[in-house]
Structure 1
């Protein structure tokens, strides 16, 4: 018996077995997965965040708990609106310390998601560009915001005190940019930047972002 005769001997059985099951229905046009539309408040907020692109602005510490040792309150703070793409906005956060040395370890990263939210990530780097032990933490928007304010709430962890934790970011082009942590909706730690007049020149790249480095896009 040749290969061809074997094939035709098996074919009727294959057809019979195929007919024993329920045929899968053809997918309806509406069954295809679609991306959720970005809500108007978040579209407007992202547009405002892109507005100062290419400019850097000075800021200062406005609020910190007594236990915080990150800033003393007299440092020069700089936010640089560096990358302002449709799929990612990067804001390096530079700190001129009291000894005159610069800390360029932090970059705030905002990304719109396919389900209509905005994701906030913190990229922390060492001076040699390698990742810090604590990095890439963040959260997503979970509620309606405004064109000027969005909140990113952590839902991945339960806290002993029962408080909700996250971040609040305010952007008013030409006026101010505010970033800080919140607990149960109240400011816990906060830095404010004056957007009324940009600095003469942008700062050097954040650590790890030299020559186009940084996280995958």
Structure 2
């Protein structure tokens, strides 16, 4: 039976282990990059990120106080900047109000807390929970959903997709293969590997030779 474990094993077998550009950033820069970088190219994310970092000196308190219009101008290169600026500002204010520091937020925030922030959608909450807070929650993005659909799965919501694709990942095989004891890291690298497959080996609604080899593994 195809599940998350069999998919990830097939991706690793064909050297499709993925990674993210922001993986080694400090937590605050990662926080900004994740929010700024949605639906935009990495080069544009970097430009916007640099502008914000210079302006607020990587301070969550300064980020909470900056005018939303000013913030929107700083991240203009990233696209959808007005919506993103409002989301970032609201989240920063909530962090300052509910936690003693940004580190306190990192260590103690929950998925449900993030979901309670106005303007934060389910996909953003998933992303922040796994990539930033290091919780074992799988990030089902458009690439993951599309890949599941190509495998013949049908689902009505994120939760159903997560149940399918996250199954079987708490396995010694992956801890050894990725040299980690962190299940959240396994989830992150799996998501990055699916992104790698779909972005680099699926063009014009067709898989290339490598993509077809992965599908063959899953027959």
TM-score norm. by structure 1 comes to 0.23
Name the structure where strand makes up a greater proportion of residues. 1
Name the structure where helix makes up a greater proportion of residues. 2
Bigger relative contact order, structure 1 or 2 (CA pairs below 8 A, ≥6 apart): 2
**Structure showing greater Rg:** 1
